[in-house]
Amino acid sequence: MTRRRRAWALALPVAAAVLTASCAAAAGPVGFRVEAPARPPPAVGTLEAVGDADFQGIVAGLRGTPVVVNVWASWCGPCRVEMPLLERAARRYRGQVVFLGVSSRDDRRPAEAFLRRYAITYPNVFDGSGAVRRRLQLRGFPTTYFFDRDGVLRSSVVGGVSEQTLAARVRASLGPSARSGR
């Protein structure tokens, strides 16, 4: 192997690790319980600006149903890659699990164009102030959070979520009958 090829062979894994670390770091706060007055989610196709209390109210209003919250930005490459996967899952689990998107650290027009581009059929909100991002202790884009039926954050995935991980976490949130296939 030439010196140049060896340099590239070493540089590529390092670059990939740096990129992954910049987009995906540990997320929290698992165990966080939503404590707010319930409110309905926004209409699909809108991008309502929300703060922390609004976001918590939406999740509280969905108690009784597991909620998958995906925090994304239109400029984020991994967000663009995973958005079709999330849309397919939202359609597959409609009526069993609610998906909620949160556009954060973004500008409104590109975020709205992003939703149209991927024909998203689940509700999304706009975190213009960063309050939702701070509440969820976001460490990287995208991050997907899994709330149980009681509004308790049970797990999160920082970085693009795989189809297998998403399906496993959604099935886990549905309970024993979903895990066993009954």
Can you tell me the distance from the alpha carbon of 31 to that of 38, in angstroms, rounded to the nearest whole number?
Answer: 19
- Structure tokens given for 66: 């597991």
In terms of residue numbers, what domain contains 160? 3-180
pLDDT in tens, the chain (182 residues): 656 555 444 443 433 433 333 333 344 567 778 878 899 999 999 999 999 999 999 999 999 999 999 999 999 999 999 999 999 999 999 999 999 999 999 999 999 999 999 999 999 999 999 999 999 999 999 999 999 999 999 999 999 999 999 999 999 998 875 544 44
Is the Cβ–Cβ distance between 178 and 62 less than 8 Å? Answer: no
Which residues are registered as beta bridge partners of 155?
A: 146
Specify the number of domains making up the chain: 1
Q: What is the CATH number of the domain that holds 72?
A: 3.40.30.10
For the chain, the first-to-last Cα distance in angstroms comes to 54
Q: If you write DSSP's letter for every residue of 22-64 in order, what string do you get?
A: HH------TT-B--S---PPPPTT-EEE--HHHHHHHHHHTTT
Q: What is the pTM of this model?
A: 0.81
